[in-house]
Amino acid sequence: MRRVYLDNAATTPLLPEVREAMMPFLGEVFGNPSSLHSWGDPAREAVETARVQVAGLIGAQVEEIIFTGSGTESNNFAIKGLAMANQKKGNHIIISAVEHFSVLHSARTLEKLGFQVSEVPVDKYGTVDPDDVRRRIRKDTILVSVMHANGEIGTIEPIKEIAKITKEMNIPLHTDAVATAGTIPVNVKELGVDALSLAGNQFYGPKGVGALWVRRGVRIMPLLDGGIQEGGKRAGTENVPAIVGLGKAAELATANMDARIKLLTALRDRLITQLPAKIDHVVITGHPQKRLPGHASFCIEFIEGESMLMWLNMQGVAVSSGSACTSRALKASHVLIASGLSHELAQGSLLFTFGIDSTVEDVDYILEVLPPIVTRLRQMSPLYAKFEKAGKGVR
Amino acid sequence: MRRVYLDNAATTPLLPEVREAMMPFLGEVFGNPSSLHSWGDPAREAVETARVQVAGLIGAQVEEIIFTGSGTESNNFAIKGLAMANQKKGNHIIISAVEHFSVLHSARTLEKLGFQVSEVPVDKYGTVDPDDVRRRIRKDTILVSVMHANGEIGTIEPIKEIAKITKEMNIPLHTDAVATAGTIPVNVKELGVDALSLAGNQFYGPKGVGALWVRRGVRIMPLLDGGIQEGGKRAGTENVPAIVGLGKAAELATANMDARIKLLTALRDRLITQLPAKIDHVVITGHPQKRLPGHASFCIEFIEGESMLMWLNMQGVAVSSGSACTSRALKASHVLIASGLSHELAQGSLLFTFGIDSTVEDVDYILEVLPPIVTRLRQMSPLYAKFEKAGKGVR
């Protein structure tokens, strides 16, 4: 059976070049970078090379990169660490309604500690209006966090415009760039942000590693206390092989970004254009233009995303129905609800995320196998009467 | 030149069998364990197999194991998470004076948040007296944390005895078993603790992975908020290859523990017995009997540990002068100071930690190269006059 992996938002595979770069550090080069003897030296040098590579990917100063264990850790570190470090100035933070749970739930934790959190709404495309951020800023606002792009609906947020406002008001701005760094151009200076999260397994690097970039001069409190690794900002023995892999993946992403974007955009557009012509009642979620290149997301009415996912899986196709981090919670996506979709429609969420190994044939396979699945599932669905009433053949 | 790695407390090398077990998960088996499709299945199964292996190592229930990114994260999670979850009952916690910085500094952070921290002193061997713990327990004490063994001086703490007290008083007891789990028998039921930290790179598993065991029914607040991985207790995409490696390392440690302990103990005892016969004014640090099998630690008077370390490094030998996590801070060890050593003597700290690849020849090489180094460094030292006065030839 054909196997088609279209769930690169959940995790990308590891590139062979990345694995090769990691291998010595899973073998003879096993030293602890903090060690003062010659076993530590090559490990430390490898970590510093990776720091240069990651800094290069996002146009940052090398010493501003802090390695972490995941995108989730980077987001927790940013939200909690920036809030805690600025507690004397105030206790109000602003996030968007469509943030990843690692931001959203970090904010909830801060609420329990006495912080106040305002959520900025989004439009039907999941886009934040910078003026909505401005309107929520108060005298005691100490942090704004809006994601660079949303992994569930692909929408790219107007970070530059938001940064103009936060800069004017002198409030630190964090952006969760887990879905963008390594995929589309991300430059911290151009974006104008003060802190930015990224994760290795989103651009063909390893799992178990991420980074938080924090602009020099911006105070942050460590999330992991202990030794003086990462400039005293993130304790714990460095995960050398994973950091090396992240560096290599960053280098490859920098070098190949244009070609990758071209490929992914073509595949995405092919699916987004052709799928609605083959299935009734399909809604494209997220922004029609300002969206991630390899990201095609839909809601298919009168049906459940989970069941489509299972049936597609039986046909050898991997897709998802939302964020992998919440897939097992089986709840309607907060992102879709915030974008104004009904709970019923949000249940039919289906998310295709292409990768650099994806092909036109993969798209055509989806166009072939999905429509009969949808037809069958609708016939089996308790919503079938409703569907018939809404009208077959309606696009 | 001979290369002799005697810094296994800083990090152990990865066993070839562990690397082999990890390899598929750095290749074709790249799925996200949270994914609902068949790419996620083998990744999820591998994580669950590792959970069984780690539970087996410490005699725990499988579902009580929470994978983390390091021993440091496990300790931060335990100290902050247990304190935060029990805040309504009180705000007093007790730790020992010789804890790793990931425990000590986590407690400092809690102090900033309004918690009160009592430190239990240690005797000249670095041993905690359980009665000293008892005396510090108050009505509002919500957590006690004492390490299982100290990585700098090798001393094994009387956790069972402390657990009897905390159980009687109904206070959760955490132990940092990073230096012991995978090295000596650790059984959570026998120890009687409620939470226990361990780390992969301490027993021939990978860096970037650890675990926290929390007894069922003991409440803990997540350190990493976000998705519902690890039973909702630790968010973030699972670091599958590292978790698999940790599991394999746990399995091998369980199977080979007796043989490893026998080897390590023999090497340790050879060095501890013979080194003081070759160098004047050597103090063995830590407990003479109740100590880690591969752990030989000394303070060499009238000299600096760092300079011995450098000179040994030039002879191809890797040792350390204390915890790798603090090695670059170049401060006298809080562990040695707490054990009653003077700052001057603590400066001469030298720590040999044997591994399963170590040999008798390694010990004999140390016995050959170290004495002339010490002699030369003492001659160059500003403390030389003091040394002459103290008497050469004095053991």
Q: Which residues does chain A have within 8 Å of residue B113's beta carbon, measured at their own beta carbons?
A: 113
User: Which tens digits make up the pLDDT trace of B223-256?
Assistant: 999 999 999 999 999 999 999 999 999 999 999 9
Contact present, B161 and B189 (Cβ < 8 Å): no
Known catalytic membership, residue B299: no
Nearest residue to A165 via CA among A129, A140, A118:
A129
- The whole-number pLDDT of residue B1 equals 83
* A164 at B interface, C-beta within 8 A: no
Name the residue facing B100 among A10, A109, A226 (closest C-beta): A226
Q: Is the dihedral of CA A85, A90, A96, A97 positive or negative?
A: positive
- The whole-number pLDDT of residue A326 equals 61
Beta carbons within 8 Å of A47's beta carbon, 6+ residues apart: A33, A67, A238, A240, A243, A244
Contact present, A379 and A267 (Cβ < 8 Å): no
Per DSSP, which regions of A48-110 are E strands? 65-68, 92-96
Beta carbons within 8 Å of B106's beta carbon, 6+ residues apart: A225, A226, B75, B76, B79, B80
Give the side-chain half-sphere CA count within 13 A for B387.
Answer: 25
Smallest Cα distance from A263 to chain B, Å = 22
Distance of CA A227 to the CA centre of its chain: 29
- The whole-number pLDDT of residue B324 equals 64
Tokens 């690169």 belong to A8
Report residue B259 as tokens.
Answer: 């043989």
Contact present, B150 and B103 (Cβ < 8 Å): no
Contact present, B115 and B91 (Cβ < 8 Å): yes
What burial letters (b/e) apply to B272-306, b meaning 16+ CB within 10 Å?
Answer: beebbeebbbbbbbbbeeebbbbbbbbbbbbbbbb
Q: How confident is the model at residue B207 (pLDDT cuts 50, 70, 90)?
A: very high
* A87 at B interface, C-beta within 8 A: no
Give the side-chain half-sphere CA count within 13 A for B116.
Answer: 10
User: Which tens digits make up the pLDDT trace of A166-219?
Assistant: 999 999 999 999 999 999 999 999 999 999 999 999 999 999 999 999 999 999
Measured between its terminal Cα atoms, the distance across chain A in Å is: 31
Spatial separation of the C-alpha atoms in residues A106 and A78, rounded to whole Å:
9
Spatial separation of the C-alpha atoms in residues A71 and A182, rounded to whole Å:
13
Whether residues A30 and B7 touch (CB distance < 8 A) is answered with no
Whether residues A35 and B236 touch (CB distance < 8 A) is answered with no
- The whole-number pLDDT of residue B322 equals 76
User: Which tens digits make up the pLDDT trace of B286-330?
Assistant: 999 999 999 999 999 998 888 999 999 999 999 998 766 666 666
What is chain A's mean pLDDT, rounded? 95
Distance of CA B362 to the CA centre of its chain: 23
Q: How confident is the model at residue A304 (pLDDT cuts 50, 70, 90)?
A: confident
Burial category of A365 from C-beta neighbours within 10 Å (exposed 0-12, middle 13-18, buried 19 and up)? middle
* A70 at B interface, C-beta within 8 A: yes
Three-state DSSP state, B134: helix
* A207 at B interface, C-beta within 8 A: yes
Greater confidence, B268 or B389?
Answer: B268
Which region among A319-323, A327-331, B152-156, B347-351 has the lowest average model confidence (pLDDT)? Answer: A327-331
> Which ipTM did the prediction report?
0.96
Tokens 């990585």 belong to B151
Q: Which residues does chain A have within 8 Å of residue B101's beta carbon, measured at their own beta carbons?
A: 225-227, 235
Q: Please identify which of the residues B283, B325, B337, B367 carries the catalytic annotation.
A: B325
- The whole-number pLDDT of residue B308 equals 93
Do β-strands A195-199 and A173-176 pair in parallel, antiparallel, or remain unpaired? parallel
Percent of chain B with pLDDT over 90: 90
Whether residues A73 and B70 touch (CB distance < 8 A) is answered with no
* A113 at B interface, C-beta within 8 A: yes
**Whether residue A392 has pLDDT greater than 80:** no
User: Which tens digits make up the pLDDT trace of B370-383?
Assistant: 999 999 999 988 88
Spatial separation of the C-alpha atoms in residues B131 and A31, rounded to whole Å:
40
Whether residues A237 and B39 touch (CB distance < 8 A) is answered with no
**Whether residue B263 has pLDDT greater than 60:** yes
Q: How confident is the model at residue A324 (pLDDT cuts 50, 70, 90)?
A: low
